[in-house]
Amino acid sequence: MSVAVVNIGRSHSGDLVGTPLPGDALVCDGGVIAWIGSSADVARGDHESVLDAGGAGVIPGLIDSHVHVTFGDYTPRQQTVGYLESYLHGGMTRAITASEVHTPGRPSDPAGVKALAVAAQRCFADFRPGGVTVHAGSVILEPGLTRVDFEELWEQGVWLAKAGFGAFDGPLDYVPVAQAARAAGLLVTCHTGGGSIPGSLDRIDAGAVIAMGAHVSFHVNGGPTAMTPEDNEKIVVEGGEVALQLAMAGNLRSALDICRLAREHQRTDRLLISTDTPTGTGVVPLGMFHLIAELVSLGGLPVELAIAAATGSVGRVYGLDAGILAPGRPADLLILDAPLGSAGEDWAGALQAGDLPGIGAALTAGHVRYTKSRNTPAPKRPVAVV
């Protein structure tokens, strides 16, 4: 079953400079983007659905790299059912777990955290709430885990690890365990800043994140408590390739500071945009676009870079083929525009004005999941289903 999108206006392929699609039409087939070209070349009878964007734009579906997944489409922290499907109505087509640390009664012994990660990975391997792809199963680093444990997890399909919630006495005690996970091939993520819940460490600073060799500095602007300005500079300047994951639920002042530092030091390629929800901050379906709009309109982050930080850059850091719109890539995309009444002319102008775009349609794995978002304002140019 193929779906065509025609009459696309302003587009962004997901890369760092926001390269437009090479045409104003695309075709999705077999879960991937099969073709990009001119609307004049789309034979409408060849497709099961044709979406006429009417001049609205297209960008890759947003990838939130900090979602507190547990099991099913349910968050125990806020007692909410159906949040992942609701996030799809905010533009998130793919969620990456921040570890299953919110699972009630979660284990903390090595065998228990391994089993939890494997179970979560299995439970979401074929379960797509509302059409959202969920990468679940991130092992919570605890004392006693060894290189052999991480190699077993890797063989079981677990490829993520999370530092920051284990029963270690101090941040530097994570270093050998995090490095063993990394050596076994896992992608290591690390809580950054002040402790998020009672019982976690008081603070994990830039030096500890760097010493662990983490791939991603989780909520580098605080989750929700930020590092010092000196540590912000240290992780940008001395952090090598550590990805700088900005979180909507973090400290906005610190996020703006890290954006400025990343621009000054030409390291905006390391910026990722995420929500860090559901958490104490709540369930926030529009969280990705909220932070994008804030960084663009208040932080001077070019809109092209902000979209990349929520799409193609996430795919690159996490080794996924998603986040870029090109033939052969997953057909996860949004048709969007400035919302009705916005000062902006198109989705990019709306974000520059600090407004959230109106989403006209979302596709994941090449399927049309909706043609009217229930969470965003209506787009100026609505999508017509032909």
Q: Is the dihedral of CA 103, 171, 248, 226 positive or negative?
A: positive
For Zn ion, which stretch binds (CB under 5 A), given 199-207, 270-278, 292-300, 370-378? 270-278
One residue of 276, 332, 337, 346 binding Zn ion per CB under 5 A: 276
Shortest CB 314 distance to Zn ion, Å: 16
For Zn ion, which stretch binds (CB under 5 A), given 117-125, 159-167, 276-284, 295-303? 276-284
Shortest CB 30 distance to Zn ion, Å: 35
Of the pair 281, 376, the CB lying nearest Zn ion is at 281
Quick note: the x/- pattern for Zn ion over 92-121, rule CB under 5 A, is ------x-----------------------
Range 286-315, binding Zn ion (CB under 5 A): none
Of the pair 98, 255, the CB lying nearest Zn ion is at 98
For Zn ion, which stretch binds (CB under 5 A), given 44-52, 110-118, 208-216, 273-281? 273-281
Of the pair 214, 338, the CB lying nearest Zn ion is at 214
Of the pair 102, 367, the CB lying nearest Zn ion is at 102
Unique residue bearing structure tokens 């030096």:
207
Are 319 and 26 in contact by the 8 Å Cβ rule? The answer is no
Of the pair 90, 222, the CB lying nearest Zn ion is at 222
Shortest CB 279 distance to Zn ion, Å: 6
Report which of 249, 250, 211, 206 is spatially closest to residue 229, judged by C-alpha positions: 206
> Given the DSSP bridges, would you call strands 57-60 and 333-337 parallel, antiparallel or unpaired?
antiparallel
Report which of 249, 310, 248, 243 is spatially closest to residue 91, judged by C-alpha positions: 310
- Burial class for 108, CB neighbours closer than 10 Å (0-12, 13-18, 19+): middle
Should residue 355 be labelled a site residue for Zn ion when binding is judged by CB under 5 A?
no
Shortest CB 66 distance to Zn ion, Å: 6
Shortest CB 217 distance to Zn ion, Å: 12
- Rounded-to-integer distance, Cα 298 and Cα 352, Å: 9
Of the pair 276, 294, the CB lying nearest Zn ion is at 276
Of the pair 98, 308, the CB lying nearest Zn ion is at 98
- Burial class for 126, CB neighbours closer than 10 Å (0-12, 13-18, 19+): exposed
What is each CA distance from 240 to 19, 23, 244, 252, in whole angstroms?
Answer: 26, 37, 11, 23
CA angle 276, 282, 284 (to 5 degrees): 70
What is the secondary structure of 354-369 as a DSSP string? TPPPEEEEEEETTEEE
For Zn ion, which stretch binds (CB under 5 A), given 91-99, 154-162, 280-288, 298-306? 91-99
Residue 191: what are its φ and ψ, rounded to 5°?
-55, 140
Buried b (16+ CB within 10 A) or exposed e, 344-381: bebbbbbbbeebbbbbbbbbbbbbbbbbebeebbebbb
Of the pair 10, 94, the CB lying nearest Zn ion is at 94
The size of the interface with Zn ion (CB under 5 A), counted in residues, is 2
Residue 173: what are its φ and ψ, rounded to 5°?
-70, -20
Quick note: the x/- pattern for Zn ion over 40-79, rule CB under 5 A, is ----------------------------------------
Shortest CB 380 distance to Zn ion, Å: 35
Of the pair 189, 232, the CB lying nearest Zn ion is at 189
Shortest CB 164 distance to Zn ion, Å: 9
Tokens of 369: 């999941």
Are 153 and 113 in contact by the 8 Å Cβ rule? The answer is no
Shortest CB 357 distance to Zn ion, Å: 25
Shortest CB 102 distance to Zn ion, Å: 9
Q: Mention every residue, 6+ apart, whose C-beta is less than 8 A from residue 199.
A: none
Enumerate binding residues for Zn ion (CB under 5 A): 98, 276
